[in-house]
Copies of this chain bind each other. A is one copy, B any other.
Amino acid sequence: MPMSARIIDGRALAAEVRNEVAKGVAALVAGGAAVPELAVVLIGDDPASHVYVSNKVRQTEAVGMRSRRFVLAADTPERLLLDLIEQLNRDPAVSGILVQFPLPPQIDAARVVTAIRPDKDVDGFNPLNVGRTAAGMEGALVPCTPLGILRLIKSVHDDIAGFGALVVGASNVVGRPMARLLLQEMCTVSIAHVRTTDLERRCREADILVVATGVPGLIRGHFIKPGATVIDVGITRIKSGSGAERLVGDVAFDEAIEVAGAITPVPGGVGPMTIACLLANTLGAARMEAARSKAKEANVTTAV
């Protein structure tokens, strides 16, 4: 009888995270702090981006936080976006700032992520947050997708120190920050990408396999180490012959489920956790700001 992997329920875990965040927001506000607020900036009219942003705004409000949405024209000059970011950086009501990717070609992503104040950088892409995470320093805001994935993995194994982890895909949004978090957890971490020659063998050695390539079905069942924890970040819309659409991941799910110990489905795995972790980051940013305000107040009182 073939084994069948445990399916990691991203929707249920995301609901848990949102629940924790809602409690945290209530406690923060009860303690006298302002209601946390997330500012979301969207440039252009990519329909998928509009859907993502609407989801983010709706979920932000559902956990008791405020949100502000800025929609800029697709041909907005970079200078204008940077000015808006600067204004949001200075606005004490704004706890977190998120600029929705992808950006139009006239805007340089590195400049945008660098412009966001590190302690409001709820996407965790500012190089200062990247560096703090990479150096194992405290107080960094960490990108939402890897943060959510770590929580998914920990729902299977609480302590992953010494586990062999392979991250397939080296993007700044998922692969690289994921590798940093897994190293922080004391996994033996490897990172594979388009230039990797022996992907199959490397996958088969991994106790934890995180795949974020956008190549549907890249990882076949026989790539997977029996009992491994498999996280599928890919999500691609595929049209079948009959014209019906469905979403598929980077892992051949029907094969993988026979081999893996635990696996995330697509959809319903990584996706829901990403927004939930964005809310957690926004609460975290608001908490840090509240702590700073309190410290400042205390100093003023002492001085008086």
Contact = CB atoms under 8 A, between A and B. Distances in A.
A77 interface: no
In the assembly, how many copies of this chain are there?
2
Nearest to A130: B131
B193 A191 contact: no
A183 B183 CA distance: 15
Using C-beta atoms within 8 Å of the partner chain, give the interface range for chain A: 35 or more
A222 interface: no
Contact of A127 (B132, B188, B202): B132
A208 to B, nearest CB: 13
Given A172-B136, A202-B188, A161 B195 contact: yes
Interface string A124-136: 0111111110111
A202 B132 CA distance: 28
Q: Which of A126, A128, A161 has the most CB of B within 10 A?
A: A128
B186 A189 contact: no
Given A164-B197, A188-B202, A189-B191, 9 more contacts: A129-B131, A136-B172, A162-B195, A170-B183, A176-B183, A186-B193, A187-B195, A188-B190, A190-B190
Interface of A: 110, 125-132, 134-138, 161-162, 164, 170, 172, 176, 180, 183, 186-193, 195-198, 202
Q: Give 9 nearest A-B pairs by CB, closest first.
A: A131-B131, A127-B131, A130-B131, A190-B190, A188-B196, A162-B195, A186-B195, A134-B134, A127-B132
